[in-house]
């Protein structure tokens, strides 16, 4: 993994946090497959390509007044990158959420992730790459 990929991931989450869908998509391969964690209701389990990610963006963000992902750790695994973060959201109905979230990025082509798998806990993501703590 290159330092450029790590910085691209950080930039991608910064774009997510400031609500910039175009900058967020610029760092994903056009043929990306995103498998969600299944933690949040109302989302599909798989989104394909930039069109799918735009659909995810719209449907996922709709119930939130504000949301933010705080990046914790990024782990270099060579062919894959594991990002451990914390999802923080304030729903329009007043509910607040703060919970672990994790993603495994892989299948890189031209430094753009072709595959992303979401996890509801850091433990689940680390177990998926055999790094359970």
Question: How confident is the model over 28-54, as pLDDT tens digits?
Answer: 999 999 999 988 888 999 999 999 999
- The burial class, CB within 10 Å (0-12 / 13-18 / 19+), for 132 is exposed
Q: What is the pLDDT of residues 75-124, one digit of tens each?
A: 989 889 999 999 999 999 999 999 999 999 999 998 899 999 999 999 99
pLDDT at 1: 47
Predicted confidence at residue 132, as pLDDT, reads 63
Give the DSSP letter of residue 6: H
What are the φ and ψ backbone dihedral angles of 58, each rounded to 5 degrees? -65, -50
User: Does pLDDT of 15 surpass 90?
Assistant: yes
pTM above 0.95, yes or no: no
Distance between CA atoms of residues 129 and 104, nearest Å: 8
All domains in the chain, ordered by first residue = 3-128 (3.10.450.50)
Dump strand ranges (E) for 45-132.
46-48, 64-76, 81-91, 96-106, 113-119
pLDDT at 41: 83
Amino acid 133: pLDDT: 57
Q: How far is CA 22 from CA 18, 28, 56, 68, 107, in A?
A: 11, 10, 13, 17, 21
Residues 6+ apart with CB under 8 A from 124: 102
Alpha helices in the chain (DSSP H): 3-18, 21-26, 49-61, 122-128
């Amino acid at each position: 993994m290159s330092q450029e990929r790590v910085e691209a991931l950080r930039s991608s989450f910064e774009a997510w946090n400031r609500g910039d869908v175009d900058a967020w998509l610029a760092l994903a391969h056009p043929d990306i497959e995103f498998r969600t964690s299944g933690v949040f209701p109302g989302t599909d389990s798989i989104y394909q390509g930039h069109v799918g990610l735009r659909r995810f963006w719209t449907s996922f963000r709709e119930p939130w007044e504000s949301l933010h992902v705080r990046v914790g750790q990024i782990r270099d695994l060579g062919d894959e990158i594991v990002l451990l973060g914390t999802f923080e959201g304030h729903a329009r109905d007043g509910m607040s959420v703060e919970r672990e979230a994790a993603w495994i990025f892989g299948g890189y082509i031209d430094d753009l992730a072709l595959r992303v798998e979401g996890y509801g806990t850091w433990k689940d993501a680390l177990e998926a790459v055999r790094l359970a703590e």
